[in-house]
Amino acid sequence: MGEMNFKNRGELVYETLKQEILDLRLKPGQMISENDICERFGVSRTPVRDALRLLQEQGFAETIPYRGTYVTLLSLDNIKQMIYMRVAVETMVLRDFLEVQTPMVIEDIRHSIAQQRAVIREPGFEPEQFYRMDAQMHSIWFAAVRRQKLWEMLQAQQLHYTRFRMLDFITETDFMRIIGEHEDLFSMIVDKNEKGLEEALKEHLYYSMKRMRRSIEVDYKDYFEEEDEEGRFVI
């Protein structure tokens, strides 16, 4: 990543750390050391503090007095509400898409799924690659019905939802299952099976919350804000 693409060193540090937070290389609750960042980027404290201030303003980090700066934890309630909203919005988008789909767009979806199959076979395959391909496929029907702005708004929910999706893919051991679900969605799109498509989409988008129940409660408990136990996993 070259500094020439950035206005200043603070922006370089900010963008790098933000991406590492989104990719979970910097984990929820992890301390961010000013000294370590200064040394890593070869910069003074001023651009580092500028970067940390921006991360705090965007909600990606928080400073605890007398302790330091930490990556913010994930909010399970926020994530559940985002999934609820995405199901509602994407159901409407797909309903509209069934009315306007063209052979060319259908081929775009078919090609996207083929790329997903190919990438998981590559040596050194990283979950981030699949995350971006998954997002690219879903964006196809948003673009086809001229709802790109809605897709951008959903994708902008980075603080909790994007990081949760990344955790979903990092802990996933069966990417063929996801691709199979994508193929089911594709088949129902081709058949214009609106009712089946809506049910399949809902199951597809909620599955990760069900699959990860143990991960959230046990393995990655420290990644999440403490919440009331009552109704915690009600979807």
In tens digits, what is the pLDDT along the chain, a chain of 235 residues? 444 444 578 888 999 999 999 989 999 999 999 999 999 999 999 999 999 999 999 999 999 888 999 999 999 999 999 999 999 999 999 999 999 999 999 999 999 999 999 999 999 888 888 989 999 999 999 999 999 999 999 888 878 988 998 898 888 888 999 999 999 999 999 999 999 999 999 999 999 888 888 888 889 999 999 876 554 544 4
In a domain, 167, yes or no: yes
Same domain, 57 and 81: no
- The answer to whether 175 and 208 have CB atoms below 8 angstroms apart is no
In a domain, 188, yes or no: yes
Domain end among 69, 96, 114: 69
SS3 232: coil
- Residue 148: C-alpha distances to residues 25, 108, 154 (Å): 29, 16, 10
SS3 62: strand
Instruction: For residue 231, give both structure tokens.
Output: 């109704």
- The conformational region for residue 192 under phi > 0 = left, psi -120 to 50 = alpha, else beta, is left
In a domain, 63, yes or no: yes
The residues, any chain, with a CB within 8 Å of residue 227's CB and separated by 6 or more, are: 75, 76, 77
Same domain, 79 and 158: yes
The residues, any chain, with a CB within 8 Å of residue 39's CB and separated by 6 or more, are: none
* CATH number for position 60: 1.10.10.10
Domain that holds residue 107: 74-221
Same domain, 56 and 124: no
Same domain, 20 and 42: yes
Same domain, 48 and 164: no
Same domain, 101 and 126: yes
Same domain, 49 and 162: no
Domain end among 69, 97, 115: 69
In a domain, 57, yes or no: yes
| Count of domains forming the chain | 2
* CATH number for position 107: 1.20.120.530
Sign for the pseudo-dihedral over CA of 195, 200, 203, 208? negative
